[in-house]
């Protein structure tokens, strides 16, 4: 069966790292049908809309979408795309690789970020000249779905359990619901859990990241804490991510469009290629996914390396080196 993949390079270095990841996928013995689609600042400039309906529809109908990056319009592109694939969790591994300079080389974490609600639910109101409000939404159903996923993730990955990060000491009703729902599912499934306040997590992950493996978080907490972990492993250039839905997924590096280096052919494709490995695993090609991961890790360790990692290789050099190892 052919896997149907939407490919959205987007803006800036998205135009470089996305084709790189597609090259890696094409080098495998798997039959893919790629559907290239457009989105981002450059589309908005031309058409007034950052995310064309055709792009949305493709993401909503193919098996998986590989997305590069968007510039100023990132939120207009990525949030609807996450919805298009019906994703309820954003899986964000943050791992320090041998050979890559990291503030905390002992970091090896996976964030499981709630992907549909919290402050992202989009209910904002301008109530007066002075006052605006946002309605933060938390449901037990979304929290439980995330927790079910977390329990399976922990079992599949051979982890001991997971942490739940929240701020239920202040957001008692909403994060209280989040926490209670997640803990109830875990208890039922016999998965060990530990709670951590999101602010305390920010301190403790710096002091000793080895305390944590899998961290289940509300939407914004997952956004900020995973970016913090990116700082510990040497920058956003290294973080892949997978937005998982029941029937489709969206795979994207955590980094942005990096306009400062766009067009120079020196963008680090590692995060996008590892995102493609997550896509492979999502589609059931576990061995290929694992092979791609290992190939990237080998290249990160031995080179060639792009300038952000202290080397002088191009995006293509790195991509070729990954393919050579497959």
Ligand X SMILES: CC(C)[C@H](C(=O)O)[C@@H](O)C(=O)O
Q: How far is the CB of 189 from ligand X (least distance, A)?
A: 28
Residue 79 makes contact with ligand X by CB under 6 A? yes
For ligand X, which residue of 33, 75, 134, 326 counts as binding (CB under 6 A)?
75
- Report the residue number, 26 or 199, with the smaller CB distance to a second copy: 199
Q: Phi and psi for 274 in degrees, rounded to 5?
A: -70, -35
Give CA–CA dist 255/268, Å, rounded. 10
Q: How far is the CB of 182 from a second copy (least distance, A)?
A: 14
Residue 129 designated active-site: no
Token digits for 41?
A: 């600042």
CA distances from 232 to 108, 126, 220, 275 (A): 10, 38, 19, 19
Token digits for 262?
A: 């766009």
Diameter of the chain measured on Cα atoms: 61
Question: Within positions 220 to 239, which residues make up the interface with ligand X, using CB under 6 A?
Answer: 223
Question: Within positions 136 to 175, which residues make up the interface with a second copy, using CB under 8 A?
Answer: 136-141, 167, 169-174
Residue 302 designated active-site: no
DSSP H/E element including 53: helix 53-61
Q: How far is the CB of 251 from a second copy (least distance, A)?
A: 19
Residue 44 designated active-site: no
- The active-site residue, picked from 199, 286, 312, 324, is 199
Please give the full DSSP string across 215-262, using - where no structure is assigned.
EEE-HHHHHHHHHHHHHHHT-GGG---EEE-SS-EEE--SS---TTTT
- The active-site residue, picked from 3, 63, 97, 167, is 167
DSSP assigned state of 204: H
DSSP assigned state of 283: T
Residue labelled with tokens 């990060």: 165
Q: Is 4 helix (H, G, I), strand (E, B) or coil?
A: strand
Question: Within positions 204 to 223, which residues make up the interface with ligand X, using CB under 6 A?
Answer: 223
Q: Phi and psi for 249 in degrees, rounded to 5?
A: -145, 160
Neighbour tally for 140: CB within 10 Å? 15
For ligand X, which residue of 103, 134, 155, 170 counts as binding (CB under 6 A)?
170
For ligand X, which residue of 25, 28, 37, 78 counts as binding (CB under 6 A)?
78
CA distances from 168 to 14, 172, 174, 191, 269 (A): 37, 5, 7, 21, 38
Residue 169 makes contact with ligand X by CB under 6 A? yes
For a second copy, which residue of 31, 53, 190, 203 counts as binding (CB under 8 A)?
203
* Span near ligand X by CB under 6 A; candidates 17-25, 70-78, 204-212, 290-298: 70-78
Q: How far is the CB of 70 from a second copy (least distance, A)?
A: 11
For a second copy, which residue of 22, 37, 205, 217 counts as binding (CB under 8 A)?
205
DSSP H/E element including 281: helix 270-282
Residue 97 designated active-site: no
Q: How far is the CB of 22 from a second copy (least distance, A)?
A: 26
Residue 195 makes contact with ligand X by CB under 6 A? no
For ligand X, which residue of 23, 61, 74, 121 counts as binding (CB under 6 A)?
74
Q: Name the residue among 176, 184, 173, 117 with its Cα closest to residue 150.
A: 184
Q: How far is the CB of 37 from a second copy (least distance, A)?
A: 22
Residue 130 designated active-site: no
State the residues that interact with ligand X by CB under 6 A: 74-75, 78-79, 169-170, 199, 223, 254
State the residues that interact with a second copy by CB under 8 A: 74-75, 79, 103-104, 119-120, 124-126, 129-141, 167, 169-174, 176-177, 198-200, 202-207, 220, 223-225, 227-228, 230-232, 234-236
Write out the catalytic residue numbers: 120, 167, 199, 223, 227
């Amino acid at each position: 069966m052919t896997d149907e993949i939407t490919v959205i390079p987007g803006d800036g270095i998205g135009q470089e790292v996305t084709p790189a990841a597609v090259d890696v996928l094409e080098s495998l013995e798997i039959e893919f049908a790629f559907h290239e689609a457009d989105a981002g600042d450059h589309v908005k400039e031309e058409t007034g809309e950052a995310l064309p309906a055709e792009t949305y529809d493709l993401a909503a109908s193919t098996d998986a979408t590989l997305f590069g990056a968007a510039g100023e319009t990132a939120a207009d592109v990525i949030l609807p795309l996450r919805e298009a694939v019906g994703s309820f969790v954003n899986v964000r591994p943050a791992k320090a690789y041998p050979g890559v300079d990291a503030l905390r080389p002992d970091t090896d974490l996976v964030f499981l970020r709630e992907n549909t609600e919290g402050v992202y639910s989009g209910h904002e109101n301008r109530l007066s000249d002075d006052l605006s409000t946002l309605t933060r939404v938390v449901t037990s159903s979304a929290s439980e779905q995330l927790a079910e996923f977390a329990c399976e993730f922990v079992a599949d990955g051979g982890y001991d359990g997971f942490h739940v990060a929240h701020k239920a000491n202040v957001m008692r009703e909403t994060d209280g619901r989040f926490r209670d729902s997640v803990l109830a599912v875990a208890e039922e499934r016999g998965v060990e859990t530990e709670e951590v306040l999101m602010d305390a997590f920010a301190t403790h992950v710096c002091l000793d990241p080895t305390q944590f493996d899998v961290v289940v978080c509300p939407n914004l907490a997952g956004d900020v804490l995973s970016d913090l972990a990116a700082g510990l492993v040497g920058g956003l250039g290294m973080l892949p991510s997978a937005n998982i839905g029941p029937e489709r997924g969206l795979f994207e590096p955590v980094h942005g469009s990096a306009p400062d280096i766009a067009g120079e052919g020196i963008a680090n494709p590692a995060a996008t290629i590892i995102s493609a490995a997550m896509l492979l695993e999502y589609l059931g090609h576990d061995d290929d996914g694992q092979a791609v991961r290992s190939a990237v890790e080998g290249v990160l360790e031995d080179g060639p390396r792009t300038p952000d990692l202290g080397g002088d290789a191009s995006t293509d050099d790195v991509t070729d080196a990954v393919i050579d190892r497959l």
